[in-house]
Structure 1
Amino acid sequence: MRPPNMSGHFLLAPIPESTSDYLLPKDIKLAVLGASRVGKSAMIVRFLTKRFIGDYEPNTGKLYSRLVYVEGDQLSLQIQDTPGGIQTQDNLNQQLVDSLSKYLHWAEGFLLVYSITDCDSYRAIRPLYQHIRKVHPESKAPVIIVANKGDLHHLRQVQTQDGVQLANELGSLFLEISTSENYEDVCEVFQHLCKEVSKIHGLGGERRRSSVIPRPRSPNMQDLKRRFKQALSSKVKAASTLG
């Protein structure tokens, strides 16, 4: 199941200079979870910089921030990279649960990433998903399952249909991508998750206007015209009296 293409509605944006009518952006908080060496950090960096950093995870635990536009609304996107020490297939050990819990409570949307070259990383997706639902029992926090390293066909251990079936069972969206080869697919993953989070929380209509520099009121043209007519009328009356 693939989400619709929204590349035309989602743009990375520089932080604007402070102005009188600057709208403070709402936060969107995303967490990227999965086993070690599935390409979580590479996905994040590729999305934010278009640069591929290779098959390693040097930034585990790092929080990334960027201002973005989602369908015309300015949002402050925060992406949390997470530890990847998942070794069990059917359950999560308590130490890992404790280390992940703070991220699960913090985030509003989740990417669960596995590598098509690693069956164990695929098997870790279900317990991760179940733990997310324990933390968010209302089941509103959107989750996308991502099969990464789609270009390594000769090393494939997990078939595309296996990912589709798992996503259907869990009620999640599924995408198979290659972080190293296709920047557009990486963008599509983050684009769709941002849009789902913003829809759930109604972020588009809740932006706050900054009061750091008060904006002066614009003059009312109708009021200016009325005052001008009054002044003109007074001058005419004064001239008549003098005459």
Structure 2
Amino acid sequence: MRLPNMSNNFLTPIPESSDHVISKEIKLAILGSSNVGKTAMTVRYLTRRFIGDYEPNAGNLYSRLVNVEGEQLFLQIQDTPGYIQVQEDFFHVTDSISKCVQWAEGFLLVYSITDYTSYQSIRPLYQYIRKVHPDSKVPVVIVGNKGDLLHARQVQADEGIQLANELGSVFVEISTSESCQDVSDVFQHLCKEVSKLPLPCNCERRRASIIPRPKSPNMQDLKRRFKQALSSKAKSSSLG
């Protein structure tokens, strides 16, 4: 299946107020081997916004408010490290990637057309996602990246199409370095598919608060500490 044509980039600024009501939250993960361009795709698509503090081997979480067909959505993208081992009859993912697969609602599986090994990791990654989400219709898009490096191609476009057809997924071949629009179309398509998924029965409309605001300090406690500091200073002066 080919990726359908999409409209222009749909990113909107994050409002300063935390009172803005978001109708739905979307959680995406971008997975694949090392050096296939996962981070480049994410950074190209979003203005870089980190949430919280993350260790390097845990990947980076990006967030943005987006508008999909007139609906305001809170988008989070987990960019994962490429610590994936694929050998004959053996497939291993790290705990961080395992947790990411459990967390996400939609997936981009990325390989480089210049690295056949990265292509071989897509099938077991897809199968792992379906194992974690056996009763879910979680959408998955397979992306062949670095489409501008035709002189170094190791994976033919037909191989990507065939794999996607076998897995029942969508496929697209792009060049992150050459086309921001193609990158945007991929993310927009996935956001649109995830937004179609039914909300959990206990899901409530949430407010857009990128980083939780700290609680207001207790003024009585601050006054008490201030008096203690003055008292200690006075005692020190009298002793001197």
Deviation (angstroms), 1:172: 0.2
Q: TM-score, normalised by structure 1?
A: 0.74
Kindly provide the amino acid, as one letter, of the partner of residue 34 in structure 2.
Answer: S
Partner of 1:153: 150
Partner of 1:75: 73
2:113–2:144: 8 Å Cα contact kept in structure 1? yes
- 1:124-173 alpha-carbon deviations (Å, 9 max, x no partner): 00000000000000240000000000000000000000000000000000
Q: Which has the larger radius of gyration?
A: 1
The whole-number CA distance in structure 2 between the counterparts of 1:127 and 1:47 is 26
Deviation beyond 6 Å, 4+ runs, structure 1: none
Structure 1 residues 76 and 99: alpha-carbon distance in aligned structure 2, compared to 1, 3 A threshold: same
Alignment gaps of 5+ in structure 1: 51-57, 211-243
Partner of 1:124: 121
Q: TM-score, normalised by structure 2?
A: 0.75
SS of residue paired to 1:36: coil
Partner of 1:2: 2
Partner of 2:11: 12
Kindly provide the amino acid, as one letter, of the partner of residue 102 in structure 1.
Answer: K
Structure 1 residues 98 and 78: alpha-carbon distance in aligned structure 2, compared to 1, 3 A threshold: same
The whole-number CA distance in structure 2 between the counterparts of 1:209 and 1:116 is 40
- 1:28-86 alpha-carbon deviations (Å, 9 max, x no partner): 00000000000000000001149xxxxxxx89600000111001111010000112022
SS of residue paired to 2:142: strand
Partner of 1:112: 109
Kindly provide the amino acid, as one letter, of the partner of residue 77 in structure 2.
Answer: I
SS of residue paired to 1:133: helix
SS of residue paired to 1:88: strand
Deviation (angstroms), 1:23: 2.3
Deviation (angstroms), 1:11: 1.3
Kindly provide the amino acid, as one letter, of the partner of residue 16 in structure 1.
Answer: P
Matched positions, count: 198
Alignment gaps of 5+ in structure 2: 49-55, 208-240
Kindly provide the amino acid, as one letter, of the partner of residue 15 in structure 2.
Answer: P
Tell me the percent identity.
67
Partner of 2:233: none
Name the structure with the higher helix share. Answer: 1
1:89–1:124: 8 Å Cα contact kept in structure 2? no
Partner of 1:219: none
Kindly provide the amino acid, as one letter, of the partner of residue 15 in structure 1.
Answer: I
1:89–1:120: 8 Å Cα contact kept in structure 2? no
The whole-number CA distance in structure 2 between the counterparts of 1:87 and 1:76 is 32
CA RMSD of aligned residues (A): 2.4
Deviation (angstroms), 1:117: 0.2
